[in-house]
Amino acid sequence: MSYVIPKETYSGNVLSLEFGKAPKSVKIGGENTLPFLSFEGSIPNKPVIAYEIQDITPDDWPDTVKAQYAFCSDNPVKWAQHCQNKLKAQAISLRLIGTHPDRGDRSAGDVAKIVKDVLSAVDVPLIILGSNHIEKDASVLVAAAEAASGYNCIIGKAQEGNYKTVVAAALAHKHKLIAMSELDINLAKQLNILITQMGFDKERLLTDPMCSALGYGLEYTYSVMERIRLAAIMQNDVTMQPPIVGDVGMYVWKVKETFASESDVSQWGSIEERGVAWEAVTAIAMLIAGTNLLIMRHPKAVETVRKTIEELV
């Protein structure tokens, strides 16, 4: 007797979402099965990796990542072009960290110019992120959304404390939107409900349940993402069906395993390999939990994860 693989049937699906402008626009989501279980359903779009760039030269990244962009990180336009042309990025994520009150406190006016400059220099889709400062992001993301009007970007992150303003900006300028909550699945659902109650279409939404690095709470992120996917796919919970974002780089490249020097911890081996592995392993765990869009920093880690995606799909 031949062996028949037992199959689950699911009632729900992940919503698909397209961002950027043709011909370089990118599609994510759309699967009606759990992550990579393609024998039980269809997975029309592979997970996508966006390269993170910043509006100011990053001074808090470990040298091993800084060195990758040393010749372009003083200028977001050059940096974006490098990611697109040399690293063949599918998407770019511009983090406006320089707007944070403790990191330069750039004005919304400055932001508009940077966003416009980057958008006219590259044609891959752009994700525009604030500095994760609830009050400041409200004004920064409004300016960014307006400057990027017509480019079908993803903007974020809308949080409980600023979502009304950020949602209104995304609505007005027809962008996609990341809704972020802090490792609480019930609050993630609640925020999605509140945002759609403002008239924002759930097909334009992404969920960020908050990332964390391997060894620093990854299992919490994993569990929340996994439960979001189970609710979407198995319970057909429409509020939990937007694609998931994993903002990996910013959580990974601040843990000591990625920057402790080889002279301090010789038993940990090569500092660069270690950092790349930390980012790649964290990202792959997110993928297996259900992430559709990753935001990452080190080209070698991106390459490793990209290959893994090719092998798994």
Partner 1 sequence: MIIIGEKISIIAKKVREAMLSRAPEPIQELAESQRRAGAHFIDVNIGPAEDKGDDLMRWMVESIQEKVQAPLCLDTTNPVALEAGLKAHNNQWGRALINSTSNEPERFVMLELAAKYNAQVIGLTLGKGGIPADAEERCEIAAEIMARAAEYGVPLEDIYLDPLVLQIATSQDHAAKVIDAVKMFQEINDPPMKTVVGLSNISNGCPKAIRPILNKYYFILLMNVGLTAAIADPREMAEAMQERQLVEDVMAGKEIDDVKKMMEIKKTLDVIMNKTLYAHSYLEM
Is position 231 an interface residue for partner 1 (rule: CB under 8 A)? yes
Query: Least distance in Å: CB of 190 to partner 1?
Result: 4
Q: Are 215 and 178 in contact (CB under 8 A)?
A: no
* Residues ≥6 apart with Cβ < 8 Å to 11: 233, 234, 235, 236
Minimal distance in Å, beta carbon 76 to partner 1?
37
* Residue numbers 244-303 binding partner 1 by CB under 8 A: none
Three-state SS across the chain? CCCCCCCCCCCCCCCCEEECCCCCCEEECCCCCCCCCHHHCCCCCCCEEEEEEECCCCCCCCHHHHHHHCCCCCCHHHHHHHHHHCCCCCEEEEECHHHCCCCCCCCHHHHHHHHHHHHHHCCCCEEEECCCCHHHHHHHHHHHHHHCCCCCCEEEEECCCCHHHHHHHHHHCCCEEEEECCCCHHHHHHHHHHHHHCCCCHHHEEEECCCCCCCCCHHHHHHHHHHHHHHHHCCCCHHHCCCEEEEHHHHHCCCHHHHCCCCCCHHHCCHHHHHHHHHHHHHHHHHHHCCCEEEECCHHHHHHHHHHHHHHC
Q: How far is the CB of 182 from partner 1 (least distance, A)?
A: 13
Between 184 and 203, whose beta carbon lies closer to partner 1?
184
Interacting span for partner 1 (CB under 8 A) from 34-42, 62-70, 79-87, 180-188: 180-188
Instruction: Check if the beta carbon of residue 131 is closer than 8 Å to that of residue 103.
Output: yes
- Pick the binder of partner 1 from 77, 134, 194, 312 (CB under 8 A): 194
Under the binding rule (CB under 8 A), the answer on residue 90 touching partner 1 is no
Residues 11, 120, 235, 270: which binds partner 1 (CB under 8 A)?
Answer: 235
Site size toward partner 1 (CB under 8 A) is 16
Q: Return the residue matching tokens 């590259």.
A: 122
Q: Is 189 in the site for partner 1 (CB under 8 A)?
A: yes
| Residue 186 binds partner 1, judged by CB under 8 A | yes
Does the protein bind partner 1 through residue 237 (CB under 8 A)? yes
Select from 28-36, 96-104, 227-235, 285-293 the region that touches partner 1 (CB under 8 A). 227-235
Tell me whether residue 136 or residue 229 sits nearer to partner 1 (CB atom).
229
Query: Rule CB under 8 A: is residue 239 a binding residue for partner 1?
Result: yes
Interaction of residue 185 with partner 1, rule CB under 8 A: yes
* Closer residue to partner 1 in complex, CB, 234/260: 234
Based on CB atoms, which residue is closest to partner 1, 12 or 299?
12
Nearer to partner 1 by Cβ, of 145 and 240: the residue is 240
Verify binding: residue 197, partner 1, rule CB under 8 A.
Answer: yes
Q: Which stretch binds partner 1 (CB under 8 A): 45-53, 82-90, 182-190, 202-210?
A: 182-190
- Between CA 14 and CA 237 the distance in angstroms is 10
Q: Examine residue 190 and tell whether it contacts partner 1 (CB under 8 A).
A: yes
Binding span for partner 1 by CB under 8 A among 5-13, 58-66, 235-243, 267-275? 235-243
Residues 6+ apart with CB under 8 A from 106: 55, 56, 96, 98, 99
- Using the contact rule CB under 8 A, the part of the chain among 97-105, 231-239, 285-293, 294-302 near partner 1 is 231-239
Q: Which residues bind partner 1 (CB under 8 A)?
A: 184-187, 189-190, 193-194, 197, 227, 231, 235, 237-240
